[in-house]
Amino acid sequence: MTYYFPNVDPIYLFKRAGTDEDPFLFLIDKRRVMRNYCILQEIPSHKHGVTIKDAKGNVLTEVTHSNPSTGEYRVDYSQGIVFFGDDMDGQEITAEYYGMGRVNIPATRVLTIDGNDDPVESLQDALNRVQDGINTLEQVGDLDFKGEYSPDVEYKKWNFVTFNNKTYVAIQNNINVEPTNTNYWRLVSSGVGFAGIYDESKVYGIGDIVTDSAKKNMYISKVDNNTSPLSSSDHWELMLTLDDAVDNLVTIIDQKINELQNLRNQLLDDENQRKQNEIIRDEKIDNFNQLFNEFKQDIIESEAERILNEGTRQDNESQRINQENIRKLNEQSRIEAEQIRQQQENDRQVAFSNALNDVDNAIGRTNDVIDQVNNLMTDINDIKDQAEAIVRQAQDATLDLQEFKHMGEYNPSTTYYKYNIVSFDGSTYMAIRETQGDSLDDTFYWQLLSERGRDGSMITVDGIEPDENGNIDLTEANYIKADDVDNMINQTKNEFNIKTGDLALLKTMRKDSLVAAINELKSRIDDIIDILSPQ
């Protein structure tokens, strides 16, 4: 029964006949050798061969052994893969050959499945979601401090400005729109003022916020009449380090995208190889069926000849009864003819038995192929699960950055999420996990970013007073230091390296979506068994 599926991307094999009406196509492929091999655009014709030239136009030598040396290459004509020696790794080559056809498989047909073997999404869907994450990160890349608001400047989303001694962040691109317009701006802080990039010629007061010249670190002044450099911890406090964390996250996302793209290419290559192997297998089965039919015809013709010889023998026997004298002359001939007939019969039986054994062996090898296909389907599911985990990690990191925004004055009835920033009684706090109604003094849920300004001799942080040297130990207050951020980045890199190592160990010959092929193979085996079974 045939079914029609409209609007579905097809997976199909395009194969040329190699005749005058449908000739093979002459192709010139430019490829780069990676890991000592490259994959041709189409399956090459073994009859015409493949010519390989290096980047300088030198023609290399084709060999058949498994380890090509300098200036040599080997072609797998069943899969369209060319293998080289170590000296060609990373080099560009030109391949000239006659293409017999190709396999087309769209990314929308490479599916991931859940624990019940139900399809979840395609590889194309996963790549689209990664692209959405990239677009969000590109917007976060515009996070910049533009200084005092000016109606003549065009601001982009995530740009920070100061206006009337308050700090605002743009939530969409705009020009000549005052920061008080909540459709385009959000208030970041009303208790402190952003003073732009640090200028050693200026005098800063308590609560003034500045960035270093690279715009990577944000500091807040701890004293009035502050003319000290940013390196003075007695006069300045490091609040946040932003750009490094964003840059590292962008790098990690780019690496994950490359891994997904490489996985997609590997899956396409493996599917092409599987299709080509199916073609070769079908050709071998067709050739076997043809040989078997020819052998069967030979048996039928031999049997007819044997019956004819038997009739001749019976005629001779009748003549022997009627002509005893002639029988004596022909008796020796009859005996020799009988011996020949018996030898032919024995040979026929041996040949037929050997043919049955060959068929049984072919069926056994076919069952082994089915078992290997089932194992490969399990392996490809593991690869898809790991790729899905990579996409989810990228989404989680993007969602965290989206919550880095000011939520206005603290409201105990509002639910706040990690990285939300609020103001209360002139101080600024940041949520370090989801919370509702919890006290701002509870360091399990909140982290103090900036405290309302007061006389320098009375400054405390979460109730911690300066020691006899005027220093405040922030260890008990659980503030994030630059070293803590570096450790967090290093830990993330280590976890990523471990994951990359696991992926590198994966085999490269793994596929799925083979149910139709397996059913077709079983059907052909059943046809062979029906032919061989006695009627």
Contact assessment for residue 32 and residue 78, using Cβ atoms and an 8 Å cutoff: no
- pLDDT for residue 526 is more than 60: yes
Task: Tell me if residue 162 falls in helix, strand or coil.
Answer: strand
Give, in degrees to the nearest 5, the angle at Cα 244 between 243 and 248.
Answer: 115
Neighbours of 307 (CB within 10 A): 10
Is residue 147 situated within a structural domain? yes
Q: Is the Cβ–Cβ distance between 60 and 68 less than 8 Å?
A: no
Q: How many separate domains does the chain show?
A: 2
Position 512 scores a pLDDT of: 44
pLDDT confidence bin for 190, thresholds 50/70/90: low
Flag the least confident range among 37-41, 332-336, 354-358.
354-358
Q: Is 117 exposed, middle or buried (0-12, 13-18, 19+ CB in 10 A)?
A: exposed
18 domain-assigned: yes
Dihedral of the alpha carbons of 320, 326, 330, 332, in degrees to the nearest 10: 90
Tell me the CATH number at 16: 2.60.40
**For residues 426 and 381, which has the higher predicted lDDT (pLDDT)?**
426
Q: Is residue 159 situated within a structural domain? A: yes
Residues 100 and 147 both lie in one domain: no
- Overall pTM surpassing 0.85 (yes/no): no
For 26-49, the pLDDT digits (tens) are: 999 999 998 899 999 899 999 999
Q: How far is 189 from 144, CA to CA, in rounded Å?
A: 16
Q: Report the DSSP beta bridge partners of residue 238.
A: 219
Which of 47-56, 122-131, 152-161, 509-518 has the lowest average pLDDT?
A: 509-518
Phi, psi dihedral angles at 99 (to 5 degrees): -85, 130
Where is the domain boundary, 245, 276, 308?
245
Same domain for 98 and 144, yes or no, is: no
What is the pLDDT, as a whole number, of residue 174? 94
**CA 236 from chain center: how many Å?**
47
- The amino acid present at 99, given as its one-letter code, is G
In a domain, 266, yes or no: no
**What do you get for the CA distance between the two ends of the chain, in Å?**
28
Same-domain check for residues 171 and 88: no
Lowest-pLDDT choice from 168-182, 288-302, 494-508: 494-508
Among all chains, which residue has been given the structure tokens 């659980």? 478
Count other C-beta atoms under 10 Å from residue 387's C-beta: 20
Q: Is the pLDDT score of 322 beyond 50? A: yes
| pLDDT mean over 279-287 | 81
Q: What 3-state class would DSSP assign to 502?
A: helix
Q: Are residues 30 and 92 in the same domain?
A: yes
Q: Using CA atoms, how far apart are residues 50 and 41, in angstroms rounded to an integer?
A: 12
Whether residue 93 is found in the same domain as residue 157: no
502 domain-assigned: no
pLDDT band at 91 (very low <50, low <70, confident <90, very high): very high
Asked if 150 and 239 sit in the same domain, the reply is yes
Identify whether residues 25 and 73 lie together within a single domain.
yes
Above 70 in pLDDT, residue 535?
Answer: no
Q: Is residue 163 part of a domain?
A: yes
- Comparing 4 with 411, which gets the higher pLDDT? 411
The predicted-structure confidence for 446-490, as pLDDT tens digits, reads as follows 988 777 765 444 455 556 666 666 565 655 555 555 566 467 656
149 and 95 belong to one structural domain? no
Last residue of a domain, one of 51, 79, 104: 104
Least confident of 80-84, 110-114, 305-309, 319-323: 110-114
- What's the pLDDT band for 504 if we cut at 50, 70, 90? very low
Task: Name the band, by pLDDT with cuts 50, 70 and 90, for residue 509.
Answer: very low
Q: Does residue 478 lie within any of the structural domains?
A: no
Evaluate whether residue 191 is within a structural domain: yes
34, exposed or middle or buried, with CB in 10 Å at 0-12, 13-18, 19+?
exposed
Size of the chain in residues:
535
DSSP 77: T
Per-residue pLDDT of 54-68, as tens digits, reads 999 999 999 999 899
Mean pLDDT of 179-193: 77
Residue 440 Cα distances to 203, 431, 434, 476, angstroms: 32, 9, 13, 16
Q: Look at 209 and 51; give whichever has higher pLDDT.
A: 51
Q: Which structural domain range is residue 194 located in?
A: 140-245
pLDDT of 264 above 70 = no
Phi-psi label, residue 335: left if phi above 0, alpha if psi -120 to 50, beta otherwise: alpha
One domain for residues 87 and 155: no
User: Domain boundary at 245, 261, 292, which?
Assistant: 245
Q: For 392-440, what is each residue's pLDDT tens digit?
A: 665 565 566 566 678 889 999 999 988 888 898 888 888 989 998 888 8
Band of the pLDDT at 23, cuts 50, 70, 90? Answer: very high
